[in-house]
Structure 1
Amino acid sequence: MHSPLEITQILPASPALVFEMFSSKEHLANWWGPEGMGIEVKTFDFQPEGTFHYVLKAGSFEMWGKFTYLEIDAPNRIALLNAFSNPEGETINAPAVPFGADWPLEMWTEYRFIPEGDQCLLRLTSHPHQASDASQKLFTQNHGNMKQGFKSTFDKLESYLKVLRSDEVSKKP
């Protein structure tokens, strides 16, 4: 058995607020994806068996993806299948470059929102879903690259949370 990808980050907000960042189309549109990539949300249906279908863009480059939600336990946990997709929302193989021909078709992913004082410990756990040994091995070999991408994404979330907080402070009488 290959090891799952595990990433944690402390965020300057309550678990309930961080959960809201994942459960709202308007919020996700402001931070999801690595630095330097914009996002367009095509579908957002936040419920078990619902999907979040999106395209990340950088110049003329586009990368489509989707989440299929499995379990939602507000404000503690979200479990989903993460996959690449085409513009129609169908699950497709990852681009061979840079991912490799054996990249898993789907990844089971869990986000946990854990109280840490007045902040939130965000914990992501992910592993290939119903994947071959070759896919599991490739996934494990790429933990470092995925950690970089998620770090960039979660740093954008942290910055967005700070903007939200400063907006709240400026609106108080």
Structure 2
Amino acid sequence: MTYIRSFSDEQGNTVRAPFSVSWPLEMMNIVTLEDDEGKTVLKLKGWPVNASAEEQETYKGMAPKLQQDLEGTFDKLADYLVSLN
């Protein structure tokens, strides 16, 4: 699945992220599911779209934190799914 993600106001207009005045307005996202010896592996990729040099640098600076946050989210999801059994 491929999609472009952005923040929006109540009317659906694209707006700046509330946490950074230099966060890119739009982000390309690609989600893939792959088989790895009978286990499904979810892969996420993302990058700025039509971003200024400043926006690209902001994204690069925050990329490690984004990865850490996503890993933590998926770890919690995995724990929850295991608890259902």
Same fold (TM over 0.5): yes
CA-CA distance at 1:88 after TM superposition: 4.1
Alignment gaps of 5+ in structure 2: none
| Counterpart residue identity of residue 94, structure 1 | A
Report SS of the residue matched to 1:142.
Answer: helix
Equivalent of residue 114 in structure 1, options 15, 31, 34: 34
CA distance in 2 between counterparts of 1:89 and 1:152 reads: 29
Counterpart position of 1:146? 66
> TM-score, with normalisation over the residues of structure 2?
0.83
Equivalent of residue 128 in structure 1, options 44, 48, 65: 48
CA distance in 2 between counterparts of 1:149 and 1:82 reads: 17
Highest RCO, 1 vs 2 (Cα 8 Å, sep ≥ 6):
1
> TM-score, with normalisation over the residues of structure 1?
0.44
CA-CA distance at 1:159 after TM superposition: 2.7
Q: How many residues align?
A: 85
Alignment gaps of 5+ in structure 1: 1-77, 167-173
Counterpart position of 1:158? 78
Aligned CA distance change for structure 1 residues 160 and 103 (closer, same or farther; 3 Å):
same
